């Protein structure tokens, strides 16, 4: 078993690997905030240059035309408990009175270590030198609370913030996903490996793959198991997940490439094996999916503005594993010696069981051992004859 199946006659080496990817596909949306829009690789792949870990955007929320200023926080934040600084003024109760504190005003500029001259909201309030204090209770994820309550809509007041305005509204995730075409996109994986001990290098584009075949093939685990071109929908399906559901809030899929090579055979027999795994639990209710934000900045009328994107996507992690073995006299002799030693130990164990623990141990002792008596010497024999004489 150890010598043949586990290849105890070989020395082993681990893998050094490099991975690069290329994606192809176009998608189109017609959202009110953008109008008709074409999405290509540069728009929906992060990072666009391709790596062993990358994200393909499947859904998004856009907040266009943001600029630095003051604005009401979104409705969900107004009902968030613990922000008594804003609620002291009766926020949500129909009044816009400010809390009876003036030190909140220094928070805006003391963070930038600037000298304060007056309250930025009420210039009649003169402030002394900046006072640095813990501002964590004044900060929202989207900005810094000013302490005022302002109209969020005709029937509701919320806390005013200073930050990028208007504030992002991200609690309505589009369903179904806005980029369903991603399911038909293709990914081309190039994997180069090296076994440094044996000075052997290999690529996943093996000898049987030609340029013509590569242009038309798509990976299938039965019919095209060596094709390095993968359809994203097929990859997600093989990982045991539903693409339409995964595309709404995102997720993570693992692509493993296994190289197990016996270098005692020609190198053409060293081929990759692809497998796909879902790395997120679909049943999780705490922080489900995968998302992140990025922004596109521009200047308009001399003012810096940005379009904020909250991106939901599928992150693909490509993991490469492998080992190679080749005949070596040292492990061969070591394995043979170990095997011989094991046989010696086995005989001792068998004797121990047969002669001391089994019910028929007395019978086995009789069969294993012969009892012999020492033959009397000639002198003793002669004395015995004299004693027996009349």
5-9, 22-26, 109-113, 184-188, range with the lowest pLDDT: 109-113
- pLDDT-based confidence at 384, cuts 50/70/90? low
Lowest mean pLDDT among 99-103, 180-184, 209-213, 299-303: 99-103
Number of CB atoms found within 10 A of residue 52's CB = 17
42 and 87: one domain?
no
pLDDT tens track for 349-377: 777 777 777 777 777 777 776 666 666 66
pLDDT at 89 over 70: no
Alpha helices per DSSP H over 313-360: 329-356
1 assigned to some structural domain: no
117 & 54 share domain: no
261 domain-assigned: yes
H or E segment to which residue 24 belongs:
strand 16-24
Query: For residue 128, what pLDDT is reported?
Result: 45
Asked whether residue 201 falls in the same domain as residue 261, the answer is yes
Q: Is residue 78 part of a domain?
A: yes
Residue 165 φ then ψ, to 5°? -120, 150
According to the model, what pLDDT value does residue 97 have?
Answer: 44
Per-residue pLDDT at 144 exceeds 60: yes
Q: Hey, is 373 helix, strand or coil? A: coil
For residues 54 and 185, state if they share a domain. Answer: yes
Report the range out of 92-106, 120-134, 184-198, 362-376 with the highest average pLDDT.
184-198
Q: Using an 8 Å Cβ cutoff, are 193 and 29 in contact?
A: no
Q: Within a domain: residue 368?
A: yes
Share of the chain above pLDDT 70, in %: 69
Can you read off the two tokens belonging to residue 350? 């068998």
Specify the pLDDT at position 248: 92
Placement of tokens 């009649």 in the chain = 124
pLDDT score of 42: 87
pLDDT at position 103 is 38
Q: Are residues 305 and 192 in the same domain?
A: yes
Quick one: average pLDDT of 57-79?
81
> Of 83-97, 175-189, 196-210, 262-276, where does mean pLDDT reach its minimum?
83-97
Q: Which residues are annotated as a binding site?
A: 22-24, 186, 291-293, 310
pLDDT score recorded for residue 243: 92
pLDDT over threshold 50, residue 104: no
Q: 52: part of which helix (H) or strand (E)?
A: none
Cβ neighbours of residue 97 closer than 8 Å, sequence gap 6 or more: 89, 90, 149
Domain identity same for 122 and 228: no
CB 58 within 8 A of CB 43: no
Would the pLDDT of 339 be above 90? no
Is 136 among the domain residues? yes
Last residue of a domain, one of 309, 326, 343: 326
pLDDT at 189: 94
Same domain membership, residue 219 and residue 265: yes
DSSP 386: H
Whether residues 264 and 284 fall in one domain? yes
Does residue 262 share a domain with residue 194?
Answer: yes
Give me the DSSP letters along 200-267: EEEESS-TT--HHHHHH---BTTTBTT--EEEHHHHHHHTT--HHHHHHH-EEEEEEEEEEEETTS-G
Query: Which residue range(s) make up the domain with 373?
Result: 329-388
Binding residues for ATP: 22-24, 186, 291-293, 310
Average pLDDT score over residue span 188-192: 94
The CATH number of whichever domain residue 285 belongs to comes to: 2.60.490.10
126 pLDDT above the threshold of 60: no
Residue 30 has pLDDT above 70, yes or no: yes
Q: Does residue 189 fall inside a structural domain? A: yes
Q: How many domains does the chain have?
A: 3
The β-bridge partners of 323 are 14, 260
CA angle 314, 45, 212 (to 5 degrees): 100
4 lies in a domain?
Answer: no
Residues 221 and 95 in one domain: no
Domain boundary, last residue among 142, 165, 188: 165
Q: Please report, for residues 48, 97, 190, 278, the alpha-carbon distance to residue 40 in angstroms, rounded to integers and kept in the order given.
A: 10, 50, 21, 26
Residue 234 has pLDDT above 90, yes or no: yes
Res 229: pLDDT = 95
Is the predicted pLDDT of residue 133 greater than 80, yes or no?
A: no
Direct distance between the N- and C-terminal alpha carbons of the chain, in angstroms, rounded to an integer: 75
Which residues, in sequence order, are bridge partners of residue 281?
Answer: none
Q: What is the mean pLDDT of the chain?
A: 77
| Token representation of residue 22 | 């290329």
Judge whether residue 183 has pLDDT over 60: yes
359's enclosing H/E stretch is none
Is the per-residue pLDDT at 194 higher than 50?
A: yes
Predicted pLDDT of residue 80: 42
Same domain for 262 and 225: yes
Q: How far is CA 198 from CA 8, 15, 203, 206, 335, in A?
A: 17, 11, 16, 19, 21
Instruction: Tell me which H or E stretch contains 4.
Output: none
Q: Is residue 247 part of a domain?
A: yes
Per-residue pLDDT reduced to its tens digit, 156-176: 788 888 889 998 888 888 989
Same domain, 235 and 369: no
């Amino acid at each position: 078993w150890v010598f043949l199946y586990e290849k105890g006659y070989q020395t082993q080496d681990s893998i050094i690997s490099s991975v690069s990817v290329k994606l192809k596909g176009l998608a189109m949306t017609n959202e009110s905030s953008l109008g008709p829009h074409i999405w290509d690789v540069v728009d929906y792949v992060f990072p666009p240059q391709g790596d062993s870990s990358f994200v393909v955007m499947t859904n998004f929320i856009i907040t266009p035309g943001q600029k630095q200023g003051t604005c009401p926080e979104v409705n969900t934040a107004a009902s968030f408990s613990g922000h008594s600084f804003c609620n002291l003024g009766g926020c949500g109760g129909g009044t816009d009175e400010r809390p009876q504190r003036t030190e909140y005003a220094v928070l805006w500029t003391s963070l930038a270590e600037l000298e304060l001259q007056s309250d930025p909201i009420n210039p009649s309030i003169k402030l002394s030198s900046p006072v640095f204090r813990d501002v964590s209770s004044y900060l929202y994820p989207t900005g810094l609370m000013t302490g005022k309550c302002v109209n969020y809509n005709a029937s509701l007041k919320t806390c005013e913030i200073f930050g990028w305005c208007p504030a992002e509204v991200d609690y309505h995730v589009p369903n179904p996903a806005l980029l369903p075409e991603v399911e038909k996109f293709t990914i081309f994986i190039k994997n180069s490996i090296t076994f440094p001990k044996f000075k052997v290098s290999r690529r996943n584009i093996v000898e049987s793959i030609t340029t013509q075949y590569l242009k038309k093939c798509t990976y299938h685990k039965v019919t095209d198991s060596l094709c390095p071109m993968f359809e994203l929908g097929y990859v997600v399906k093989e990982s045991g997940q539903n693409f339409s559901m995964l595309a709404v809030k995102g997720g993570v899929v693992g692509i493993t490439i296994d190289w197990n090579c016996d270098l005692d055979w020609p190198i053409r027999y060293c081929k990759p094996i692809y497998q796909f795994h879902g790395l997120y639990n679909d049943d999780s209710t705490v922080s489900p999916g995968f998302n992140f934000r990025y922004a596109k900045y521009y200047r308009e009328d001399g003012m810096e503005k940005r379009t904020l994107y909250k991106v939901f996507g599928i992150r693909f992690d490509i993991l490469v594993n492998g080992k190679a073995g080749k005949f070596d006299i040292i492990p061969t002799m070591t394995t043979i010696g170990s095997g011989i030693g094991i046989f010696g130990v086995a005989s001792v164990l068998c004797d121990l069981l047969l002669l001391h623990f089994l019910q028929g141990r007395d019978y086995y002792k009789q069969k294993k051992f012969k009892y012999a008596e020492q033959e009397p010497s000639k002198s003793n024999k002669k004395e015995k004859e004299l004693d027996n004489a009349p």
